[in-house]
Structure 1
Amino acid sequence: MQLDTSREANYLIKSNTGIYTFRWNVRADNKHYQPKLSLRTRNYLKALQSASELALRISAISIPSVDDVKAVYYEFSRKKKREVKTLISIDMENLLSELSIKSRKEYLSCWNSFLDSLSSKAISVTSLNQAHIDKWKETQTCSDTTLKKKLKLLSSCFKKASIDCDSEWFKVKANKQPVRPRRAFADKEVTLILNKTKHYSDGVTESQSEQWKYYLPRMALLTGCRLNELAQLRVGDIHFTNEPYLSINTDSEDKKLKNVASHREIPVTHHLKELLLPLLKNKEVSERLFPDLPFNESNGYTNTPSKWFSKLCREELNLKDVSFHSFRHYVITKLFNRGVKEELIGALMGHSVGKLTTGKVYLNGFTYGGKCEALSFLCK
């Protein structure tokens, strides 16, 4: 029996949710019947392949009845059920083996956090829907920008595992209010913070616990570094040579930087050196400056200090629309107001300048003395 190609489009239909369904027309007792079977996929090519297989099986039956069609559906479903894989059975690490170690970590971090957000890892890939993705989104405490990046990584994981999905699942609704305020501190606010954290330097040589509450704000004020750039520092990153400098790098697996431009060397001024010397005392070169800060695959070492500092500003100092990043804005504003060239500020802050050749030359052409002189303004 040959297929009626004029009615070919009727065999495959798509629901409002994007799931494809197979439908076969049967005429019996002068009535038309249309037994249906969900193909459990949003992928058109996969649906077409399944529909073709079903159509060939049914067409092999001479004058198929409704029961005959349902019998074919039943056998087909049993076969597919045996082929269905669960999320827990997916070897994602093997699927990502061609990526670099750093990229693999980022992908696996997103994938594992998604699995952890599910009520059961034994869930089948065919039953995944947008509700599962939305539930995972709710567990993420990062900014919208970072969430978009994570969603791209998760979407790539789905594709590598050949999991049917809809691009709409991985979109982020625009948030009119920024997750992280971007306001610079005022001078009075800086003084409040320094006074409030001063007591954390007491007994600095006896205990390493909570030293970061004293040091991180002060180091940020003298360098303009991002929070994680400071929190992940090791003793070996500080060089007291003839021209002392602080190395911002990714020379170990636990270190993360925002972009390529973030790799830089920052001159150590006299005030910064005086601040760091007690902190470095009795520490080995390989030791971290703040060993009590816990590490997180997604956010490095920022979680604990960021939450503590935000709470300090909000609840104890009653400061609004600020975060630890406000120190960076404060430093940039101060340097700009002292007449420091924007290109030099960019070199010190690790700003990316896009594809501008002149910008790249500027960022790499400033002398140590010029950088040191600019940072000396922060001590006044």
Structure 2
Amino acid sequence: MNTATLPSYTSRQCTYLVRSRTGIYSFRWNILSNGKHHQPKLSLRTRNYLEAIQLSSTLALTLQKLVNPSLDEVKAVYSEYKGQSTKQSTLISSIDIESCLSDLSPKSIVEYRGCWNSFVHSLKGDDVTVVSVRQEHIERWKDTQTCSQTTLKKKLRLLSSCFNRLEIEHDTKWFAITVKENPVRPKRAMTDSEVKKVLKATEKFKPKLVGYDVGSWKYYLPRIACLTGCRLNEIAQLYVSDIHIGDKPYISLNDNGLDKRLKNKASAREVPINDALMALLMPLLAHRKSCERLFGDLPYSVSNGYNSAPSKWFGSLCRTSLKLRDISFHSIRHYTITKLFNEGIKEELIGSLMGHSIGKLTTGKVYMSGYNYANKHDAISRLTLLD
């Protein structure tokens, strides 16, 4: 073999990997600087030969790209490797997610933080690092989520974004969602008889005196839903200041607060208060400050807002006590929509009251979206509490 054709770093290939007496491998690079030979070493922190070969080969390839590297340049490569190595050994549980969210709005930060914290909590103390996280960890987290598939899709997007912001290597397939045959949250509307059963079963939670008693949300929430068609969390997160009493009384559904959220932009709306709802709300508002929440004893969850406790309670009431099948609190919303439709109310007006996104047609998008208070009040007045 003509040794003249061999690359100049042949000797380096034989010497850049060394092993200590304790069995730990180190990387060593030979350089000639100012007429002196130097062999700066870097511990690879492993006793595994194959792993050491892989790590040292990466370092060698990096250094070979440098032309006559100086001692400082070699040490700079070593320093960069240490930084990468430290990042790879970082525990998922030790990451401060907020440091990567400074460009987001306060409300978005809350959503991202809640989603990330729920993922970390699902690891249950396992020492999972940024390089050891696997799809099985994501699947384990999915199993802890009790929300609807629509909400889960949103959470998966948030979690995927967290991985991207933290530069954690992952496969997009990890964040895919499998459509279930039976949805988490049934969409069937309640019948009149089923609504009567729910209202009768919750009558005992009516406050004994004017005002609000702890647990009275079990009485108020289904009744407000029957008279407005609002979503559970939209009602549960209401403040006294959201109830406007005057010549044209209405409920303001908004996300003006870190603890408030809406499903979409169309969900921000004003729902007129009819006579039945006014009679229900006046005792509830008595002697209350505008800064108070209507249902202050409902616990708040970063991931689910205020709807977790009432959703579980009503679900149990319907399944266990009332023996109703395929029913959830959301079924009341479908009941009111069905009732308005059967009363001859136009679909566009129903959508405006319910906070549905406006369709793509010009008529639905422009001409049919500007219903005045009188139109809305007339429609909402068709909703009454069943005896």
Asked if 1:338 corresponds to 2:340, the answer is no
Contact 1:347-1:363 at 8 Å conserved across structures: no
2:233 is matched with which residue?
Answer: 228
Partners of 1:78 and 1:234 in 2: how far apart? 52
Aligned position for 1:199? 204
C-alpha displacement of 1:367: 1.5
Q: Tell me, what secondary structure is at the counterpart of 1:333?
A: helix
* Aligned equivalents of 2:278, 2:86: Cα separation in 1: 66
Aligned to 2:320: 315
Q: Are 1:92 and 2:90 matched, yes or no?
A: no
Could you say if the C-alpha distance between residues 308 and 119 of structure 1 is closer, same or farther in structure 2, counting changes exceeding 3 Å?
closer
Partner of 1:353: 358
For the pair shown, which has the larger CA radius of gyration, 1 or 2? 2
- Equivalent position SS for 1:331: helix
Find 2:137's aligned residue among 118, 132, 140. 132
Separation in structure 1 between the aligned mates of residue 158 and residue 52 of structure 2, nearest angstrom = 29
Is 2:377 the partner of 1:372?
yes
Which residue number in structure 2 is paired with residue 180 of structure 1? 185
1:38 CA displacement: 8.6
SS in 2 for 1:266: strand
CA displacement at 1:121 relative to structure 2: 6.4
| CA apart distance, 1:196 | 1.1
Distance in 2 separating the partners of 1:82 and 1:254: 36
Seen in structure 2, the aligned counterparts of structure 1 residues 274 and 207 have a Cα distance that, compared at 3 Å, is closer
The letter for the 2-side match of 1:169 is W
Q: Normalising by the residue count of structure 1, what TM-score does the alignment of the two structures yield?
A: 0.79
Shift of 1:315: 0.6
SS of structure 2 residue aligned to 1:377: coil
For structure 2, list consecutive stretches of 5 or more residues without a partner in the other structure.
Answer: 1-5, 9-48, 67-79
2: CA distance, partners of 1:283 / 1:39: 71
Tell me the CA shift for residue 129 of structure 1: 1.0
Rounded to whole Å, the distance in 2 between the matches of 1:59 and 1:308 is 65
Residue 106 of structure 1 is aligned with which of 111, 116, 123? 111
CA distance in 2, matches of 1:224, 1:36: 64
Between the two proteins, the alignment pairs up a number of residues equal to 328
Q: CA deviation at 1:108?
A: 1.1
Alignment of 1:58-97 (within 5 A): 81-82=85-86, 84=88, 85-97=90-102
Residue 245 of structure 1 corresponds to which residue in structure 2? 250
**C-alpha distance 82-369 of structure 1, shift in aligned 2 (>3 A):** closer
SS in 1 for 2:381: helix
> Is the counterpart of residue 151 in structure 1 residue 190 in structure 2?
no
Alignment check: 8 A CA contact 1:249 1:263 kept: yes
The alpha-carbon deviation at position 219 of structure 1 amounts to: 0.6
The CA distance in 2 between the partners of 1:79 and 1:274, in whole Å, is 66
Q: Aligned with 1:365: secondary structure?
A: coil
Amino acid aligned to 2:303: S
- Return the alpha-carbon distance in structure 1 between the equivalents of residues 172 and 96 of structure 2: 23
Rate the CA distance shift 1:80–1:252 in 2: closer, same or farther, 3 A: closer
Mark the CA change 1:81 to 1:358 in structure 2 (over 3 Å): closer, same or farther.
same
- Distance in 1 (CA, whole Å) between partners of 2:380 and 2:52 is 66
| Contact 2:100/2:165, CA 8 A, preserved across alignment | yes
Judged with a 3 Å threshold, the aligned counterparts in structure 2 of structure 1 residues 126 and 177 are, in CA distance, closer, same or farther, namely same
Greater alpha carbon shift after TM alignment, 206-215 vs 161-170:
206-215
Amino acid at match of 1:181: P
**What amino acid sits opposite 1:106 in the alignment?**
E
Which residue of structure 2 lines up, in the alignment, with residue 209 of structure 1? 214
Look up the match of 1:296. Answer: 301
Shift in alpha-carbon separation, 1:37–1:196, aligned structure 2, 3 A: same
The superposition leaves residues 143-196 of structure 1 with CA deviations (integer Å, 9 ceiling, x where unpaired) of 122112111111111111111111121112221111111011111111111111
Amino acid at match of 1:318: K
Q: Distance in 2 between matches of 1:334 and 1:80?
A: 62
Aligned partner letter, 2:239: R
Greater Cα offset, 269-278 or 135-144: 135-144
> 2 CA distance for matches of 1:79 and 1:340?
65
SS at structure 2 position matched to 1:284: coil
| Paired AA for residue 144 in structure 1 | Q
Distance 1:289 1:127, change over 3 A: same
